[in-house]
Amino acid sequence: MSVAPSPQRHRPGLAAGLQPKSVPLAWRNLLANKPRLFRSASGIGFSVLLMLMQLGFEQAFFDSSLEVIRGLDGDILVQSIHKYQFATRDPFPRAVLDTAGKVPGVTSVRPLYVDWFDFFWKNPFDGKVFLVRAFGFDPDQPVFSFPEVNANREKLKDANTVLIDRRARRFLGMDRDPAEAELNDSKVKIAGSFALGPDFQSDGTVIMSDRTFASLLRGPAGNLSEVDLGVIEVSSGEDVAAVRQALSKALPNTVAIFTKPQLIEFERKFQADVSSAGPIFWMGTIVGFVVGMLISYQVTYTDLADQLPQYATLKAIGYRTGYLLRVVLEQAACNALAGWVPAWLVSIVLYYFIGRLALLPLRMSVNVTLVSLGLTVGMCLISAVFAVKRVIQADPAEVF
């Protein structure tokens, strides 16, 4: 590539005036042909949309089972050592929580009762009976951070009064604002609703006081001596990890003690181990990436072929290969953005509607945004590197 000596040395004035800031050249190339821009943006955009949908589903899949743990209002959570996932019953003696309350640094210890297999909800609109998830807590010791649950907790003090999940699966009829329903053959009053949504274990959720929980489960004399989860708040200023350490010394080894992030991680790991959601959605993402790469290669290659005389001219007047390479890569990055931005916007709309339809917590997150942006720019740059060989080899003498 020793075509000409560097122009800077011989004609500094001209070069300084001629050499535009690099982005405008890539930018102008991009805008030079609007229909082509539209074509490339839509081609790249759809492959990005495919990636965004798959990434979004993957995240929503995990989120749907983590949503409820995130909604627990505590720093440290205590559960049976044998519990392998959140959605299973494995109660432990309530007395353990009394011990936990005496550990220094602990502000409050509140019990949560959960059941997945024994609460049968009768859809008040069609009389069909379904299994639902039930939570019970002492209305004076709230365990959730859901505002709608806490706003209504006083009402839960009335016997057989419950709150229902209006994002539950539609066949439960919880989204139709019923005033009364039946739970385990007892009439229950519905005092309000919250928006949690189903997960892969349960179709809907009912929240009630601990007393209602016990009486619906085991009759009026139902006792509360066994709990499913202890929700612990650490005094402000105390180190959560240190309090967790102190708790694990004070409590029997029949319980496991997690900080909230640890329990979320424990559940995420379980879901990742047993479910095929990860590989299923990653496969879709990879297909989107490869297809996007091909489309982007096609776009850059065609573009370079069309502009070959112009590139050759630039070369002939002394621009270095490195500069041309930079222009091409910048243009590829511009193409990537031109496809990514509309796809990102469209996916927000799709997330909203599909999330409502499928009752999945589909949300645009920083994580999905960055991963999709990285993949998009990556696929466009890789394909540009493959396509650019042609420009580097362009001989000004041959082009004309």
Partner 1 sequence: MKVPLAWRILTYDKRRTALALIGIFMAILLVFVELGFFYAVPRGGLLLYDNTRFDLLLVSDQYEYQAQPGAFPLSRLDRLRSAAEVQEATPIYFGFAKWKGGEGGVWPDVFVIGFDPASHVFIPESIDRQLSVLGKTDTLLVDSATRPIFGPLDTGRVVEVGARNETIGGQYILGTGFMGLGVALASAPNFARLFQGRGLDIVNLGAIVLKPGVDADRAAADLAQASGPGTRIFTRHELEAHETAYWTTRTSVGIIFGSGLLISFVVGIMIVYQIVSTQVGRQLPQFATLKAIGYPDRLLVATVGAMSLLIVVAGFIPALAAALGLYSVIREQTLLPVTMSETRLFAVFGAALGMALVSALLSVGALRRADPADVF
Question: How many Å apart are CA 42 and CA 34, to the nearest integer?
Answer: 12
Beta-carbon contacts of residue 142 (< 8 Å; ≥ 6 apart) = 73, 110, 149, 150, 153
Evaluate whether 389 touches 299 at the Cβ level (below 8 Å). no
Stretch that binds partner 1, among 20-28, 101-109, 240-248, 290-298 (CB under 8 A): 290-298
Question: How many Å apart are CA 172 and CA 165, to the nearest integer?
Answer: 10
The reply on whether position 298 binds partner 1 by CB under 8 A is yes
Pick from 117, 125, 282, 352: which binds partner 1 (CB under 8 A)? 117
Pick from 350, 364, 373, 399: which binds partner 1 (CB under 8 A)? 350
Compare residues 44 and 109 and give the one whose CB is closer to partner 1.
44
The reply on whether position 375 binds partner 1 by CB under 8 A is no
Question: How many Å apart are CA 42 and CA 106, to the nearest integer?
Answer: 56
The reply on whether position 359 binds partner 1 by CB under 8 A is yes
Pick from 26, 30, 57, 271: which binds partner 1 (CB under 8 A)? 57
The reply on whether position 377 binds partner 1 by CB under 8 A is no
Q: What is the DSSP string of 64-80?
A: HHHHHHHTB--SEEEEE
Beta-carbon contacts of residue 392 (< 8 Å; ≥ 6 apart) = 321, 324, 325
The reply on whether position 130 binds partner 1 by CB under 8 A is yes
The reply on whether position 42 binds partner 1 by CB under 8 A is yes
- Please name the residue ranges forming H helices in the chain: 7-10, 12-18, 22-32, 34-70, 95-101, 147-151, 210-218, 240-250, 260-274, 277-306, 308-316, 321-358, 366-393, 396-399
The reply on whether position 173 binds partner 1 by CB under 8 A is no
Stretch that binds partner 1, among 75-83, 99-107, 234-242, 365-373 (CB under 8 A): 75-83
Residue 167 CB, shortest distance to partner 1, in Å, is 12
HSE (CB half, 13 Å, CA atoms) of 76?
A: 28
The reply on whether position 273 binds partner 1 by CB under 8 A is yes
Compare residues 258 and 301 and give the one whose CB is closer to partner 1.
301
State which amino acid sits at residue 55.
L
Pick from 83, 133, 167, 211: which binds partner 1 (CB under 8 A)? 83
Residue 67 CB, shortest distance to partner 1, in Å, is 14
Written as six digits, the tokens of 198 are 């189903």
The reply on whether position 113 binds partner 1 by CB under 8 A is no
The reply on whether position 258 binds partner 1 by CB under 8 A is no
Task: Produce one character per residue of 146-160: b if its CB has 16 or more CB atoms within 10 Å, e if not.
Answer: bebbeebbebbeeeb
Among 181, 207, 165, 197, CA closest to 129: 181
The site that binds partner 1 (CB under 8 A) totals a number of residues, namely 49
Pick from 96, 314, 360, 379: which binds partner 1 (CB under 8 A)? 360
Helix, strand, or coil (residue 82): coil
Evaluate whether 166 touches 151 at the Cβ level (below 8 Å). no
Pick from 30, 246, 295, 332: which binds partner 1 (CB under 8 A)? 295
Residue 306 CB, shortest distance to partner 1, in Å, is 9
Footprint of partner 1 on this chain (CB under 8 A)? 39-40, 42-43, 46-47, 49-50, 53-54, 57, 81-84, 88, 90, 117, 128-131, 169, 171, 203, 273-274, 276, 279-280, 283-284, 287-288, 290-291, 294-295, 297-299, 301-302, 350, 354, 357-360
